[in-house]
């Protein structure tokens, strides 16, 4: 894959032009998590879109090898003129951190061996490697006046959970549940809030196959008041808990941030198609 410089013109205005980022560093955090830090000469443009959300995310653009692409990369032009085998693969990832002072972003990738696109790329990423991305987007931030907070998710949501706990106001009360495979996959959590964190271990069970988080949330002893809820992860987890939170616990809908990041047995493309077919609730 190569990028061929093209002159800018008014024809590119309003088109999807992802920004080009470069790998600064890459390290293995746990057996199943790789951290990659990026920088970009276009960082100022990227930072303008940052809304301060704890669940800020970007869409990573993976280009197939063997094709010449325009520079700046124009996704609409590629979609309209390139053959199917040259079309980019898009993957959505939470920003683990954004460093506005030094112009860097951090993304933690869950690894699944040789399967998938993003994980293998991250596992072999080296300083100087480049990757295009769009964003950031986001929608959730901790409410500083919420009586308490309920936070839960699997390892796909762990970067967002860590960012959420770091963004909690000092003294906030938080009940947090995180599902990972085992003790080696736990990571340090920093927060000025009062966080009761429970790590839930699958112990070799397939991701997305357990009810550990749903069972823990149902068994939780709730403090007084309606919590602000942040539960992200596998789509089945959200299905298990949405009705419980709304109907059994009576949590107001506007206090819920429930987001499926992936679906067991589906690629991101398949997950997006499935998600689009679901009734809005």
- The string of pLDDT tens digits covering residues 238-270 is 888 999 999 999 999 999 999 887 666 555 665
- The string of pLDDT tens digits covering residues 218-243 is 999 999 999 999 999 888 888 889 99
pLDDT of residue 112: 85
pLDDT of residue 3: 57
User: Do 161 and 249 belong to one domain?
Assistant: yes
User: Do 266 and 152 belong to one domain?
Assistant: yes
pLDDT of residue 197: 98
CATH number at residue 53: 2.40.30.10
pLDDT of residue 10: 42
Radius of gyration of the chain (CA): 20
User: Do 116 and 39 belong to one domain?
Assistant: yes
CATH number at residue 216: 3.40.50.80
Domain that holds residue 165: 148-277
39: which strand partners?
22, 104
User: Do 110 and 162 belong to one domain?
Assistant: no
pLDDT of residue 124: 96
| Last residue of one domain, picked from the residues 115, 137, 159 | 137
User: Do 153 and 272 belong to one domain?
Assistant: yes
Does residue 151 register a pLDDT over 90?
A: yes
How many domains in the chain? 2
CA–CA separation, 15 and 8 (whole Å):
12
User: Do 220 and 263 belong to one domain?
Assistant: yes
Share above pLDDT 90 across residues of the chain, in percent, rounded to a whole number: 80
State CA 208 to chain mean position distance. 16
Tallying the residues shown for the chain, one arrives at 281
Tokens read off for 65: 């090898």
Flag whether 250 is in a domain: yes
User: Do 84 and 196 belong to one domain?
Assistant: no
User: Do 235 and 255 belong to one domain?
Assistant: yes
User: Do 110 and 195 belong to one domain?
Assistant: no
User: Do 30 and 105 belong to one domain?
Assistant: yes
CA–CA separation, 152 and 198 (whole Å):
9
Give the mean pLDDT of 45-60.
95
pLDDT band of residue 5 (cuts 50, 70, 90) is: very low
- The string of pLDDT tens digits covering residues 80-127 is 999 999 999 999 999 999 999 999 999 999 998 888 899 999 999 999
pLDDT of residue 269: 62
Q: Following DSSP, what letter does each residue of 55-74 receive, concatenated?
A: T-EEEEEEPPTT-EEEES--
| Last residue of one domain, picked from the residues 104, 137, 170 | 137
User: Do 152 and 271 belong to one domain?
Assistant: yes
User: Do 99 and 155 belong to one domain?
Assistant: no
pLDDT of residue 259: 86
Query: Which has more pLDDT, 1 or 254?
Result: 254
Q: Sign of the CA dihedral 136, 94, 127, 111?
A: negative
């Amino acid at each position: 894959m190569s990028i061929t410089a093209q002159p800018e013109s008014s024809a590119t205005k309003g088109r999807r032009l992802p920004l080009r980022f470069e790998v600064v560093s890459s390290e293995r955090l746990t057996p199943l998590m790789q951290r990659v830090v990026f920088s970009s000469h276009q960082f100022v443009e990227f930072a303008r879109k940052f809304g301060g959300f704890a669940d800020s995310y970007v869409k990573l653009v993976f280009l197939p090898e063997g094709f010449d692409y325009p520079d700046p990369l124009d996704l609409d032009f590629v979609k309209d003129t390139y053959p199917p085998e040259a079309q980019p693969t898009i993957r959505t990832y939470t920003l683990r951190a954004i460093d506005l002072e030094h112009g860097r972003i951090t993304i933690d990738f869950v690894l699944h061996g040789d399967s998938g696109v993003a994980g293998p790329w991250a596992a072999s990423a080296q300083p100087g490697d480049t990757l295009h991305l769009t964003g950031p987007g986001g929608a959730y931030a901790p409410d500083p006046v919420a009586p308490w907070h309920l936070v839960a998710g699997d390892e796909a949501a762990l970067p967002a959970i860590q960012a959420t706990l770091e963004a909690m106001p000092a003294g906030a009360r938080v009940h947090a549940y995180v599902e990972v495979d085992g003790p080696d996959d736990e990571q340090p959590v920093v927060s000025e809030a009062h966080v009761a964190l429970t790590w839930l271990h699958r112990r070799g069970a397939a991701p997305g196959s357990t009810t550990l988080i749903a069972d823990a949330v149902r068994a939780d002893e709730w403090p007084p008041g309606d919590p602000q809820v942040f539960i992200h992860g596998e789509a089945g987890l959200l299905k298990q808990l949405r009705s419980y939170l709304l109907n059994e616990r009576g949590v107001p809908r506007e206090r819920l941030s429930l987001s499926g990041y992936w679906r067991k047995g589906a690629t991101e493309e398949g997950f997006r198609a499935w998600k689009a077919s679901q009734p809005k609730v």
